Structure 1
Amino acid sequence: MIGISAALSGSILTGCMGPSPSEQAYEALENVVSKESPFKKEQKPLLELEQKENKIYNEIIALGMKDFNQIKSLSGDALKLVADRKERVEAEQKAIADSEKAFKDAEEALGKIEDEKAKKEAAELKKLMHDRYNSYNELAQSYKSAIALDEELYKMFQNKDLKLEELEAHISKINASYKEVMELNKKFNDYTEQYNTAKKEFYQAAELKVEQ
């Protein structure tokens, strides 16, 4: 799920700041980290919402349509959680969009670096970040599709004449949707980890004195 995705890591420059391209790149790259701060803040609340919603779902399934009024009430509570998840995903997407915009400044600074070793690391860094942004966009769209299916499910539970076959077919769609989400989430986390490693290697190649 998006709620357990990895975040960028930051560093602290311990030397004197100067106008060199490497130091400009450092400042821009760390600004990218700060832009993703709201994204990081959404991780725990999103996970908690997923857990609460899952608990309600299990309660509904345990009732087995025996107490329709209780099921209707529980599904109403779940729909509120779904709405909250939607808002938090929107906040995540805005933070990533702000990060992507800020990364353009970093690319400009990275493009000015002349040292061959540092330039090679910078190129790898740029590629990984673009792959990371692309994978996040895929993940976000997949997660929002899964949320839409969850919303539809809880609306179905509010129908007294709900057929078991309809319910089972919809739950199968949800399971397939979240399987895709988990695969895309792993891909995004892998790119984030690779990017964080590549950033450290770039700082070393550029001989920037930073605390990792």
Structure 2
Amino acid sequence: MFYRPSEGHGLPHNPWNAIVAPRPIAWISTRGAMGDNLAPYSFFNAVAYTPPQLVFASTSAKSDRDGTKDTTAQIRETGVFCVSIVSRDLIGAMNATSAALPAGTDEFQHAGVAKAECETIPCPRARDAPASLECRLVQIIPLLGKANFLIHGEVVGIHIRPDCLKDGRFSPPDRLARLGYRDYCAITETFELTRPDET
């Protein structure tokens, strides 16, 4: 089949949601005047090594947050955020924090997520995550479409859970990813591949 997104796909579910997958999940925490917030985003990835940088996209709005979501609103307010990596054992809590709760609701409390303070920024993080990335905002880029924003951050602090370090490498028991629709996967099997220019 071929379709133009501007003309519709004619399927019961939008295939675009699942074509680019698996996508890592950014479990993003913020702190603002209205309190602490925690929410998952699957339009997310690392984009540079030195300095380490990442991006995620916020793609809809809440009626109580002036054309965006709690996460983006609080990043605009403070200029900082933390990205925690989600493992399979945290999937229930991660899913609970995806609810569109009223602004000012503490999703850590709502979902029973243990909270810890960041070291380099005034922000909470998910204490039991395999890794957490403390970020300073570089820029918020408006994207095509209503309420679509790309948030670009520099990673200024990294937390790694001790059991996720093996032989000097980050090696969590699994890596949770979004496949689109309601589909997720927990990646447990990996393999190494040598590049042609490596000796």
Fold-level similarity (TM above 0.5): no
Name which one, 1 or 2, has greater alpha-carbon Rg: 1
Higher RCO structure, 1 or 2 (CA under 8 Å, sep 6+): 1
Greater strand proportion? 2
TM-score with structure 1 length normalisation?
0.19
